[in-house]
């Protein structure tokens, strides 16, 4: 048999670039696979959590007597029972040495800092018995005043954690003058105030809930020499490290398995109270235990995302050239600093300036603790917030100048000839072509025709107005160069690991340190390895998510898997080839220097002699005929630490119709042209882009986590947390331009978050554009029909445009108040 | 999530179901399609001792005609109503409203009678039932039945004329053959409960509106009928201007809720816009 028989009919057709249907889809879509909740172990107990209904309280007494007597109950465990062994939910990224980081116990001992915190765990023979008994646990609370609003939290009048003495966790600043990457932003703003344009706006990034499809679930088997934990997590390797680091269990005794995981969007990059509680209870009772959350628990207790007030000041010359950008953020961390926590807004620090050539830039974030669910990474993590703000500001600048917003962007962006380009924030963008992406997007969109229709609708006073929104975004992917993470005080590296095992039968096992939860890594990695080693796609098996199999890794988040993880795979494959070449030369009785490797075959230059990779693998396995001193193994490991981030970009254009009678908005057209570098599998990319777009559009239009004034999550079910379905979205037009990343072999840039990062401002810009003629210059997200309609009413009630102040201004010295608030309320 | 434990009864006749209700009284909850009750049980917002499932009672199923009335069994699913040509022909408004309920999965489980007795003011069946002048047949102890007009059926939030020990068995709808109909439902996402809904059905004669019926969804603690609008529409041409004037009084007697989807005043504004649109669409304008 020769391997070429299994190749596509045209053996020269590379796997990379093919729209392969995903290997994993049959089992994922049918559900006939191992999800954590499907796991049943002999003697396994089921856990139910008793959670605090109060946002801020002291636990004064817990009576477990009735619960203990309930049928099937094996144990009722409180925080006090396990306080020395339960470990802690860790923050891996303190922004600086002064950061206030409240101790985060998985099961609280006495202080509850947000509703939904676990106060006791019931273990029973069945899940139903555990749930029944949980209702019998009687907890006495002394309620404490809760701080629930970000702007209230700044005042430090009510404290989320009274022992800390303040709600401010950390303040972190990046300043172009201070770091030498640009001029002083205050000088630029002052100059523009006297002879230029200054735009001042405050935007709200509402709180979102990741709402992954599979609720979180953990099984812990404490029996045997090694403790095994299955968990629906994005981060098995980080979980293993933190379990060891915070419980004292030796790392070598901990095996974490992330079996098939049903989505995460960042929501599963946390090490969770539920995981630690399950481990602690299983160890205490000496029995395997399983905990699976309900959807209600998931919405309440899984970490939330976004939640910022963004105060921006942008200065420009009268000709539209931008000069300075000042960003002041208040970021709500909720009750605790999550694993990345305060680092999420900091990830946006290099992105507010985006693709534009500001001379000066200043970024400050104040992270704040409140008595709400903790906040951490959610699809895009810091970059969507930044992209939203700058893309809204560029539209506001264009409106102020009375110019086309695309034209103002083009005037200010980094031109194709200027790459590589070091930005005012200090990042070096290696490649990009904003002109090409924008030209393609404009054509696909029918930009000029839609502008003409918009004009017609305005002139005819059509009750349905049309708006066009633009987002020429960039982002940073491929987290992350370890040295940069070290400089930022992050607690780990950003490298990624891979191993390739060449089996005797010609099959190939690829071990990857990234941890897919729906992305399609098995398919993409198979395509990459098939091309690299010249073996059939089907013969590549990708193994992941088990710390005993792929023992090293930094897991999956931050669009890093393909950029960093697959580069490690490529490098491991190249090592295999180098090792195999030696064996092949020996088998072919030729010099290693004369061996050429193409299409899976080692040939001798100038002859027709050759052996295939599987033949070399078999010969190596038998070990019968190897050169002296050569080990009988082709297997290889590689660890890749990137030198830089990658910088995908794109131009997104959105047309929204606004029914001015009701405020209802309808998407008319959405075009995006993304430059994500080289593409491995166009079908997977298409899926990532569509899903990302919907999530970003949902932030603009539908989603928002809302609390009442007692700190109860009002949007605690999908009745009130309005996730869209396919019935609410249109068919998107997607396309690509390609500027490969310059520092990886594959030239890929990452696409997991692009859609979610880019689409939100495109939608809001379109809605504001549709109703700007009514005197509207902002609408809070989600842009509900009510908010849109009220913005129109309010705009209509103020004097005509010519009589309005040209620009609203922030009052001197007042932090974060909105001079141009067009809509009601400042509450989250 | 797992409901608290309950006993389950599945009677096969209305008589048996009523007997079971009599036996278990307050302890019992009636299960129709389960699209509201099951989430309530699973979230442990209610924990009845007994659940009486009406799903195995053939006499509660299906649509039939009885002279100038349609008769819809209380356990007829939304999907079955949608598939009924008799309903499309004689009570088009009900079809159009039901077509907007949630999603196909829910429409295949949820029942018209269950929705009416659950009496969520944001549900989409109450307003068309009111507008069409439906009569609700209620079975009580010892084989007794009584008939209640839709206007007397809805008493308050989640409260109807169906008393303790009683069951809704039939919805009788006077045929509105040849009437134009439209249900204008306003939502943010497609599977949502109505923020506001307007059910309008109109009989046109010689280019103007001869008769009109208008029901409102989620504009108070019960579905409401906009009688002043109905009266003002009589004799009017189906023009934007005439209808706009006729619907101006739509908020007489409304008391809509305020929530994340909109405050009370916004809902009142929506009611005027949506009523105009519903009437114009029903009149084929």
In tens, the pLDDT along A724-778 reads: 999 999 999 999 999 999 999 999 999 999 999 999 999 999 999 999 999 999 9
Per CB distance under 8 Å, which residues of A are interface residues toward B? 127-128, 131-132, 135, 294-296, 661-662, 664, 701-702, 704, 706, 714-715, 717, 719-720, 722-725, 727-728, 784-786, 789-790
Model confidence pLDDT, tens digit, residues B173-202: 999 999 999 999 999 999 999 999 999 999
Contacts of A54 (CB under 8 A, 6+ apart): A112, A115, A141, A143, A146, A711
The residue whose two tokens read 């020769």 is A2
What pLDDT score was predicted for residue A105? 98
Stretch A51-64: mean pLDDT: 98
Q: How far, in Å, are A45, A173, B100, B194, B209 from residue B198 at the CA level?
A: 51, 53, 12, 10, 17
- Checking if the pLDDT of B111 tops 90, the result is yes
Model confidence pLDDT, tens digit, residues B113-166: 999 999 999 999 999 999 999 999 999 998 999 999 999 999 999 999 999 999
What pLDDT score was predicted for residue B207? 87
Instruction: Label residue A801 by pLDDT band (50, 70, 90).
Output: very low
The residue whose two tokens read 């606004």 is A658
Q: How far apart are CA A786 and CA A800, in angstroms?
A: 23
Model confidence pLDDT, tens digit, residues A369-386: 999 999 999 999 999 999
Stretch A173-189: mean pLDDT: 98
**Token code pair at residue A159:** 């404290």
Binary contact (A294, B190; C-beta < 8 A): no
Of B2, B260, B262, nearest to A706 by CB-CB distance is B260
State the count of interchain CB pairs (< 8 A) between A and B.
60
DSSP B58: G
**Token code pair at residue A117:** 């915190």
Contacts of B234 (CB under 8 A, 6+ apart): B209, B210, B211, B212
Q: How far apart are CA B178 and CA A783, in angstroms?
A: 40
- Walk me through the domains of chain A, giving residue ranges and CATH numbers: 3-33+495-640 (3.30.365.10), 41-383 (3.90.1170.50), 430-474+647-800 (3.30.365.10)
Q: How many CA atoms lie within 13 A of A301 on its CB side?
A: 29
Where, residue-wise, is CATH 3.30.465.10 in chain B? 59-174
Of B2, B186, B191, nearest to A662 by CB-CB distance is B186
Model confidence pLDDT, tens digit, residues A500-512: 999 999 999 999 9
What pLDDT score was predicted for residue A12? 63
Per CB distance under 8 Å, which residues of B are interface residues toward A? 1-2, 4-5, 43-44, 103, 186, 188-193, 195, 260-263, 266, 269-270, 273-274
Of A127, A295, A722, nearest to B189 by CB-CB distance is A722
- Per CATH, domain B59-174 is 3.50.50.60: no
Please state the three-class secondary structure of A276-336 as a single string: HHHHHHHHHHCCCEEEECCHHHHHHHCCEEEEEEEEEEEEECCCCCEEEEEEEEEEEEECC
Contacts of B253 (CB under 8 A, 6+ apart): B220, B224
**Beta partners for B240?**
none
Of A715, A727, A786, nearest to B266 by CB-CB distance is A786
Interface mutation target, options A722, A724, A792, chain B, most CBs of B under 10 Å: A722
Where, residue-wise, is CATH 3.30.43.10 in chain B? 7-53
Of A131, A786, A789, nearest to B2 by CB-CB distance is A131
Q: How far is B43 from chain A (nearest CA, A)?
A: 8
C-alpha B112, offset from chain centre? 7
Stretch A361-369: mean pLDDT: 98
What pLDDT score was predicted for residue B9? 98
Chain B residues with CB under 8 Å of A723 CB are: 189
Q: How far is B115 from chain A (nearest CA, A)?
A: 17
Contacts of B150 (CB under 8 A, 6+ apart): B126, B129, B130, B132, B133, B134, B135, B136
Instruction: Label residue A9 by pLDDT band (50, 70, 90).
Output: very low
Binary contact (B103, A786; C-beta < 8 A): no
The residue among A510, A513, A556, A512 whose CA lies nearest residue A529 is: A510
For B42, nearest residue in chain A (alpha carbons): A294
Phi, psi of B132 (to 5 degrees): -85, 0
The residue whose two tokens read 């978050």 is A753
Chain B residues with CB under 8 Å of A789 CB are: 266, 269
Model confidence pLDDT, tens digit, residues A203-254: 999 999 999 999 999 999 999 899 999 999 999 999 999 999 999 999 999 9
- Checking if the pLDDT of A820 tops 60, the result is no
For B265, nearest residue in chain A (alpha carbons): A786
Stretch A21-50: mean pLDDT: 96
Q: How far apart are CA B181 and CA B163, in angstroms?
A: 32
Check if the beta carbon of residue A439 is closer than 8 Å to that of residue A653: no
Helices A613-622 and A566-587 pack at an angle, to 10 degrees, of 70
Q: How far is A305 from chain B (nearest CA, A)?
A: 19
Q: How far is A516 from chain B (nearest CA, A)?
A: 27
Chain A residues with CB under 8 Å of B270 CB are: 662
Chain A residues with CB under 8 Å of B103 CB are: 725, 727
Model confidence pLDDT, tens digit, residues B22-72: 999 999 999 999 999 999 999 999 999 999 999 999 999 999 999 999 999
Check if the beta carbon of residue A264 is closer than 8 Å to that of residue A212: yes
- Per CATH, domain B7-53 is 2.40.37.10: no
**Token code pair at residue A816:** 């974060």
Contacts of A112 (CB under 8 A, 6+ apart): A52, A54, A55, A56, A57, A58, A59, A119, A141
> CATH code for B180-282?
3.30.390.50
């Amino acid at each position: 048999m020769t391997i070429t028989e299994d190749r596509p009919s045209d053996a020269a057709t590379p796997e990379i670039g093919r729209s392969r249907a995903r290997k994993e889809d049959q089992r994922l879509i049918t559900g006939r696979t191992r999800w954590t909740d499907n796991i049943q172990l002999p003697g396994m107990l089921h856990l139910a959590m008793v959670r605090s209904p109060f946002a801020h309280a002291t636990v004064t007494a817990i009576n477990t007597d009735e619960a203990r007597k309930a049928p099937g109950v094996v144990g009722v465990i409180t925080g006090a029972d396990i306080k020395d062994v339960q470990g802690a939910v860790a923050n891996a990224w303190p922004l600086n040495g002064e950061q206030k980081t409240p101790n985060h116990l998985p099961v609280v001992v006495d202080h509850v800092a947000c509703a939904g915190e676990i106060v006791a765990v019931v273990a029973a023979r069945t899940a139903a018995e555990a749930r029944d008994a949980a209702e019998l646990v009687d907890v006495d609370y002394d309620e404490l005043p809760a701080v629930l609003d970000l702007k209230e939290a700044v005042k430090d009048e009510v404290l989320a954690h009274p022992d800390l003495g303040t709600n401010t966790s950390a303040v972190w600043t990046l300043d172009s003058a201070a770091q030498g990457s640009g001029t002083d932003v205050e000088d630029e703003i002052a100059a523009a105030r006297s002879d230029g344009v200054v735009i001042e706006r405050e935007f709200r990034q509402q709180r979102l809930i990741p709402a992954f499809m599979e609720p979180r679930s953990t099984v812990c088997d404490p029996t045997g020499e090694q403790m095994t934990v299955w968990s629906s997590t994005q981060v098995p390797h980080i979980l293993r490290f933190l379990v060891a680091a915070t419980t004292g269990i030796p790392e070598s005794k901990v095996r974490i398995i992330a079996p098939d995981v049903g989505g995460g969007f960042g929501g599963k990059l946390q090490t969770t109270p539920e995981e630690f509680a399950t481990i602690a209870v299983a160890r205490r009772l000496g029995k395997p235990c399983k905990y699976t959350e309900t959807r209600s628990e998931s919405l309440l207790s899984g970490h939330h995302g976004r939640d910022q007030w963004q105060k921006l000041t942008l200065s420009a010359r009268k000709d539209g050239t931008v000069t300075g950008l000042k960003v002041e953020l208040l970021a709500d961390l909720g009750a605790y600093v999550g694993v990345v926590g305060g680092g999420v807004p900091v990830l946006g620090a290099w992105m507010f300036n985006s693709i534009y050539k500001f001379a000066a830039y200043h970024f400050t974030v104040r992270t704040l603790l409140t008595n709400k669910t903790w906040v951490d990474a959610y699809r895009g993590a810091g970059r969507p917030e930044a992209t939203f703000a700058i893309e809204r500001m560029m539209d506001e600048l264009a409106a102020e100048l009375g110019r086309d917003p695309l034209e103002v962007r083009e005037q200010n962006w980094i031109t194709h000839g200027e790459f590589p380009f070091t930005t005012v924030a200090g990042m070096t963008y290696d490649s990009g072509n904003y002109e090409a992406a924008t030209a393609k997007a404009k054509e696909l969109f029918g930009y000029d025709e839609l502008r003409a229709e918009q004009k017609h609708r305005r002139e005819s006073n059509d009750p349905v107005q049309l708006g066009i929104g633009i987002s020429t975004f960039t982002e940073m992917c491929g987290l992350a160069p370890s040295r940069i993470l070290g400089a930022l005080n992050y607690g780990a590296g950003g490298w990624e690991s891979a191993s390739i095992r060449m089996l005797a039968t010609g099959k190939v096992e690829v071990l990857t340190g990234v941890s897919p939860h729906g992305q399609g890594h098995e398919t993409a990695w198979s395509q990459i390895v098939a091309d690299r080693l010249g073996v059939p796609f089907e013969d590549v098996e990708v193994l992941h998510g088990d710390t005993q199999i792929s023992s090293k890794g930094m897991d999956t988040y931050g669009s890093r898997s393909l950029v960093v993880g697959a580069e490690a795979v490529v490098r491991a494959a190249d090592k295999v080839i180098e090792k195999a070449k030696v064996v092949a030369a020996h088998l072919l009785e030729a010099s290693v220097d004369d061996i050429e490797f193409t299409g899976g075959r080692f040939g001798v230059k100038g002859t027709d002699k050759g052996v295939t990779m599987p033949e070399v693998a078999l010969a190596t396995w038998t070990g019968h005929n190897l050169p002296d001193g050569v080990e009988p193994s082709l297997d290889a490991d590689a660890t890749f630490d990137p030198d830089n981030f990658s910088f995908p970009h794109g131009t997104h254009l959105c047309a929204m119709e606004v029914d001015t009678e009701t405020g209802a908005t309808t998407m008319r057209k959405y075009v995006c042209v993304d430059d994500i570098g080289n593409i491995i599998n166009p079908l997977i990319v298409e899926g990532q882009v569509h899903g990302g777009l919907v999530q970003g559009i949902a932030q603009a239009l539908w989603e928002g986590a809302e609390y009442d004034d007692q700190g109860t999550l009002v949007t605690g079910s999908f009745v009130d947390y309005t996730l869209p379905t396919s019935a609410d979205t249109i068919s998107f037009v997607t396309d690509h331009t390609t500027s490969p990343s310059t520092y990886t072999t594959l030239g890929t840039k990452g696409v997991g978050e692009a859609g979610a990062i880019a689409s939100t401002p495109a939608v809001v810009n379109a809605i504001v554009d549709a109703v700007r003629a009514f005197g509207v210059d902002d609408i809070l997200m989600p842009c509900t029909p009510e908010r849109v309609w009220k913005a129109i009413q309010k705009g209509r009630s103020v004097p005509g445009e010519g009589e309005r102040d040209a620009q609203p201004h922030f009052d001197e010295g007042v932090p974060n108040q909105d001079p141009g608030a067009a809509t009601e309320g400042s509450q989250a | 999530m797992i409901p608290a434990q309950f006993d389950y009864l599945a009677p096969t006749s209305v008589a048996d179901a009523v007997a079971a209700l009599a036996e278990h009284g307050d302890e019992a909850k009636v299960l129709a399609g389960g699209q509201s009750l099951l989430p309530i049980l699973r979230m442990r917002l209610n924990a009845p001792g007994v659940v009486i499932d009406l799903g195995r009672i053939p006499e509660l199923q299906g649509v039939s005609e009885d002279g100038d009335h349609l008769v819809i069994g209380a356990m007829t699913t939304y999907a079955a109503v949608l598939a009924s040509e008799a309903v499309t022909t004689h009570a088009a408004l009900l079809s159009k409203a039901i077509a907007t309920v949630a999603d196909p999965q829910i429409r295949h489980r949820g029942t018209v009678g269950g929705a009416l007795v659950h009496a969520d003011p944001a549900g989409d069946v109450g307003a068309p039932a009111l507008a069409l002048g439906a009569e609700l047949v209620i079975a009580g102890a010892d084989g007794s039945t009584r008939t209640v007009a839709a206007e007397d059926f809805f008493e308050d939030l989640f409260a109807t004329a169906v008393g303790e020990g009683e069951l809704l068995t039939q919805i009788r709808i006077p045929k509105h053959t040849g009437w134009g109909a439209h249900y204008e439902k306003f939502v943010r996402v497609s599977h949502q409960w109505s923020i506001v809904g307007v059910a309008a059905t109109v009989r046109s004669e010689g280019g103007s509106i001869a008769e009109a019926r208008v029901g409102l969804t989620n504009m108070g603690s019960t579905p409401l009928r906009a009688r002043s609008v109905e009266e003002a529409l009589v004799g009017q041409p189906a023009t934007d201007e005439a209808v706009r004037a006729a619907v101006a009084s739509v908020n007489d007697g409304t008391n809509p809720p305020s929530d994340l989807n909109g405050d009370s005043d916004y809902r009142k504004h929506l009611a005027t816009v949506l009523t105009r649109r519903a009437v114009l669409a029903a009149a084929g304008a």
